Amino acid sequence: MGEIVKRLRDGKAVLGGWTLTGHPAVAEIMAEAGFDFIGVDLEHTDISLADVHRCALAAKGTACDVLARLPSCDPVLAKRVMDLGAAGIIVPSVNSAEEAARAVAMALFPPEGSRGASLCRATGYGRRFGEYYREHNEGVAVVVMLEHRDAVRTADAILATPGITAALVGPYDLSASMGLAGRLEHPDVIAAQRSVLEACRRRGVPAGIHLVSGDPAEIRQRTEEGYRFIACGIDTLFLREGCRRALESRKG
């Protein structure tokens, strides 16, 4: 079972960061820094399956799970990233209960789902096939992203789907779908996020939020509000912020 699944089932919060570079050294640094998960972003980058493989290898032996954010609800790609060692998937733009059911099904082996079995890296190239197959459905992470106003309206139906590990609000896409792109502090955007959070509470699904800045005060605030799956920062922004601080000496 993945570490984040255990922590969430124990009622704890998990903190993770995105990698947009997909470089194994970056994944290793983030894993060893203490993140609970790394979201490898295949949706908005040129990250390849080989990069997913290398990131999974880089995090091996740590308590950090590697999750792959897919470009869409794609069962073939979902199967391949998990075969390579991803502990689960993050599925973008889930706007209906039907889409949520497909997201869960493609992550699970039969009879509960439709994922194909193989002697892949995740099974130790066959050495741990029986153990992996028996335990996978109980421990795989399936995170659905609610990031459209349509998803806010149907949140209760989406979150009633068995097998969802967490529901992650994507604030930028959500704001854009409301005609308020990037205006994350707008009252309507905040209200939409709160609506998803409340639906998660009703359905007993851990609520998630993407916090771009990784600011500790904001992370604490969101945790106190009830969010437990928190993506707090991006590798490229960590690098940019480090560069900015180093160059502050030029000012003044």
What is the spatial distance between Cα 20 and Cα 223, in angstroms, rounded to a whole number?
A: 24
Number of CB atoms found within 10 A of residue 67's CB: 25
pLDDT in tens, the chain (252 residues): 689 999 999 999 999 999 999 999 999 999 999 999 999 999 999 999 999 999 999 999 999 999 999 999 999 999 999 999 999 999 999 999 999 999 999 999 999 999 999 999 999 999 999 999 999 999 999 999 999 999 999 999 999 999 999 999 999 999 999 999 999 999 999 999 999 999 999 999 999 999 988 889 999 999 999 999 999 999 999 999 999 999 988 876
pLDDT at 14: 98
pLDDT at 13: 97
Instruction: Check residue 252 and give its pLDDT.
Output: 61
* Alpha carbon separation from 194 to 151, 200, 227, 230 (Å, rounded): 13, 10, 10, 15
Query: Distance between CA 115 and CA 233 in Å, rounded?
Result: 31
- Rounded to whole angstroms, how far apart are CA atoms 165 and 43? 20
The reported pLDDT for the residue numbered 1 is: 64
Does domain 3-142+216-250 fall under CATH 3.40.640.10? My reply is no
With CA atoms as reference, report the closest residue to 196 among 147, 142, 245, 236: 147
- Structure confidence at residue 163 (pLDDT): 97
pLDDT of residue 41: 98
Q: What residues are labeled active site?
A: 44
